[in-house]
Amino acid sequence: MVLQPGAAAGGGLGPPRLPDRHGPPLCSCPSPPAPGPRCPRGTRRLSETGAGMRRNDSAGGRGGLRAAASLPHIARGRGAEEGGGRRSPCLLVALRPRNVEAERERFFRASFAYDPQFEYAEPVPAAVLDKYGAASDRFVAQAIRIIRAVLEKYGTYESFEVATGGRLLSKCQIWSVIRKYMQKEGCVGEVVVQLTDDLLSQAVMMVEDSRPTLAINLAGARQHWLEGMLRHEIGTHYIRGVNNTRQPWHSSEGRKQYSLKPANPTEEGLASLHSVLFRKQPFLWRAALLYYTIERASRLSFSALFQDLEQYVQDAGIRWEYCVRAKRGQTDTSQPGCFSKDQVYLDGILRILRHRQTIDFPLLAALGKVSYEDVNRLKKFGVLEKARIPHFMQDLERYMKQLDHIVTTNGLNEEELEQLLPD
């Protein structure tokens, strides 16, 4: 789906140019890779929403990519592909075991008493494994409290999903919600939207063929959750990305010049808060369970982790996917070890909630891909004219009340957050 220009609310900026980052390209990985895959030329993963689970094994999607001549062109950065050298493999392809389905079948046939032996189409980059090889236990107590609060109220995760997410939407209903949301943000015609039923995450934002592309998992498109996903991907990642292109720190050299802190955990924490922002019961279940699973994976084998998660998730298929996600990158999963990247969601959420009374949220969006810690220092250098602000931030009083509601719903409090994250 492509929404054509002309119906956008407000003027805003013209079609954005989002330069690719240097380094290994990132992309979505809808299905287990065949031997020797490469990222499609011009494809780069920008963000991934949650840990949505692929609940069927069929190939191909029920929705497709719709072409349009009016999409903004996104300039490719110089880097890995210049000079005719061998291109780096897609990170998500490299981390997706190529024998994951065969090992899943063997694991289930063994009544879960087997530790998968994963194989990868490409060697997993050592730098990636080093970066994400250690888990944190800093927020484990908070993660467990959030998980238990959901189970106490709803009994099971599956009941929580149905009660709070509502019914699954048809493709026509999904297109309608997307179209209305794009109009609210003034970005009609700027983002290609693809619907698929073969995606591990709920959604992924990427640059494909030099165009911003949002892939949405049909299995996760629920009545009351879809707009939250759009706030996550479009209202946070995309808008901050567009604003970032106008800033003097839009390049890696500029970030060094201004001594910027990493964009994460602010980026994913903010996006995750926006996912649940206007839910009646804004539980942080997904971020909490990912955090807990990864911490336990660092201490347990695959089979022991699978058994440990049974206290929180009864569905064996969902547990399998969480375990694969936490153990990705490993070959012999009988050994303790994890891929800790997904801990960034709860980490970022708690840091933002801790400092929410002093963060200038519209400015945090306007300045682009920056940490909340850098906002006050950078505002005098930022290009703020015509900056895009997400529509849901424009009633700032309501926005702040919703953040307070998230704190209360998840059993958090100011004193605890201050002790966890002292100034």
**In terms of pLDDT, which residue wins out, 194 or 208?**
194
The pLDDT confidence band at residue 1, using thresholds 50, 70 and 90, is: very low
Terminal-residue alpha carbon distance, the chain: 45
DSSP string, 149-167: HHHHHHSSHHHHHHHHH-S
Determine the pLDDT at residue 3: 42
**In terms of pLDDT, which residue wins out, 141 or 94?**
141
Determine the pLDDT at residue 217: 86
Give the Cα separation of 202 and 215 in Å (integer).
9
Determine the pLDDT at residue 124: 84
The pLDDT confidence band at residue 285, using thresholds 50, 70 and 90, is: very high
Q: What is the average pLDDT score of the chain?
A: 82
Determine the pLDDT at residue 18: 52
In the numeric block, the tokens 């990642």 are attached to 237
Determine the pLDDT at residue 203: 85
The pLDDT confidence band at residue 96, using thresholds 50, 70 and 90, is: confident
Determine the pLDDT at residue 314: 92
Q: For the whole model, what pTM was predicted?
A: 0.81
Per the DSSP assignment, residues forming a β-bridge with 208 are 211
Phi and psi, residue 205, nearest 5°: -105, 130
DSSP string, 345-363: HHHHHHHHHHTTTT--HHH
The pLDDT confidence band at residue 326, using thresholds 50, 70 and 90, is: very high
What percent of the chain is modeled with pLDDT above 90?
A: 68
Determine the pLDDT at residue 301: 98
Asked if the model's pLDDT at residue 287 lies above 50, the reply is yes
Please choose, from the candidates 75, 93, 85, the residue with its C-alpha nearest in 3D space to the C-alpha of residue 39: 93
Determine the pLDDT at residue 225: 93
Helices marked H in 259-378 — which ranges? 266-276, 285-297, 302-309, 316-327, 344-354, 361-366, 375-378
Active-site positions read 233
Determine the pLDDT at residue 91: 64
Determine the pLDDT at residue 197: 77
Asked if the model's pLDDT at residue 229 lies above 80, the reply is yes
17-73: pLDDT as tens digits: 454 433 333 333 333 333 333 344 444 555 555 544 444 433 333 343 333 333 333
Helices marked H in 100-206 — which ranges? 100-109, 126-131, 140-154, 157-165, 171-185
Determine the pLDDT at residue 62: 39
Contact call for residues 217 and 201 (beta carbons, < 8 A): yes
**In terms of pLDDT, which residue wins out, 347 or 94?**
347
138-158: pLDDT as tens digits: 999 999 999 999 999 999 988
